[in-house]
Structure 1
Amino acid sequence: MRILLIGGGGREHALAWKLVQSHHCERLFAAPGNAGIAPLAECVPIQPKQIPALVQFAREQRIELVVVGPESPLIAGLADALQQAGIPCFGPSRAAAQLEGSKAFAKQLMAEIDVPTAPFRVFDEPAEAKRYLQQRFPHQMCVVKADGEALGKGVFVCDTLQDALDAVTFLMEQHGLGEAGQCVVIEDRLYGRELSLLCFTDGHTVHAMPPVRDYKRAFDGDRGPNTGGMGCFTPVPDAPPALIEQALHQIVQPTIRALATRGIPYR
């Protein structure tokens, strides 16, 4: 099988390392890849969001499977373009990728299907967002989130009301993250230990990967701004099998069913 891997980060390096171990993998390409991937795959200078170029390359090289690492090209519709070209793609459609591409979409979906989530409000006007914060923050600390894709840097965990107001100003008035911050989600701040549970799904059946604990703050001691991730580890000692089953039952499976019911299966 001739496989094209999309992306050029550490995640894609891990995917490349595993893909070439499969006896099904005849040849592996990576777009754009990186220095670590280069010994494993033929790296081609095409960026993940250059969708027409990726489709053309896949056609010319008779690619039989495209594996997409980053979310950006999926949000931009890469899987849809490949499907139209008759090329199998591991990654959701543009409509399904809203789950990652729009925090407002994800939160509203969870609220509609009773998936546990922090209380929230969605705002597209900065004055209304600030008014809500001034009313809410004195008795409930809040988190301000850019609605759109921000590479893990669109979440502001605020310790003071002024921090929260500044986050709204940065996102909605100064356009610090561009279009991603035109709309914001403000939700109640939760406290506890982080757990990430990634799953494989065909749009109906779900299989969980091992849970991991991600550290997103830039500095030691869980301080500093959020990042795309400063590292993670597995296994997680305080995540017993019963907790994973609960997460699958209460969060993952209802979400997958709801998307399928809406005609946008996540696969």
Structure 2
Amino acid sequence: MNKPLILVVEDDKAVQKLITTTLETQNYQYHTAGTGESSILEAVTKQPDIMILDLGLPDMDGVDIIKKVRTWSNMPIIVVSARSEDRDKISALDAGADDYLTKPFSVDELLARLRVSLRRVRYDNAKLQKDATVFLNGNLKVDYAAGCAWLDGEEVHLTPMEYKLLCLLAKNVGKVLTHNFIIHEIWGNYYSDIPALRVFMATLRKKIEKNSSQPKYIQTHIGVGYRMLRVGDDGKSS
């Protein structure tokens, strides 16, 4: 993983500066947010590797942010908060935080917590690439090794571009992928035609969605991008 991207969610400018300066010394990339609303937008659009989160934000409680992020992302969340009561720590960890650091904190301890989280990210990514040769989601099956897809036991005849899009969504199931992220991954930096992406996505949907007005597998996030929904054994999307 080259130059991990960290999202720093902190409204205290002095603490934010301390954290970002620390990240700069370790060659981490970072984005910052000072409100809950902007933090969720940054998380969706920038796809960071780790979030460092203060719980006491002006517009939203940090625990609510954790819950929202966990509906579509498994990225590590390290809470850095002045709240030191056990009930606050338990509440954040139960909501989905991976670690909890109490203010005031040492720079060395923050970096150590980051290294632990990054090792987990690297391990998870490596394991996913090694083990996931076949993707199963409801009645949809993608065999990466064979380069084929099936729906309800029948092969779906996809164009090379449709298959690439399907694989990208499948390998990021549950995550919102922005238009720019998809375009970069499929076509590279030299291409930026969002209308063309919408056309390709529409043709893919026609082949895997029985009811295009009520999509089961591919959800549109208007103005943002697309997400592959996880379909449970009961056939319901989430």
Structure ranking higher in helix proportion: 2
Q: TM-score, normalised by structure 2?
A: 0.29
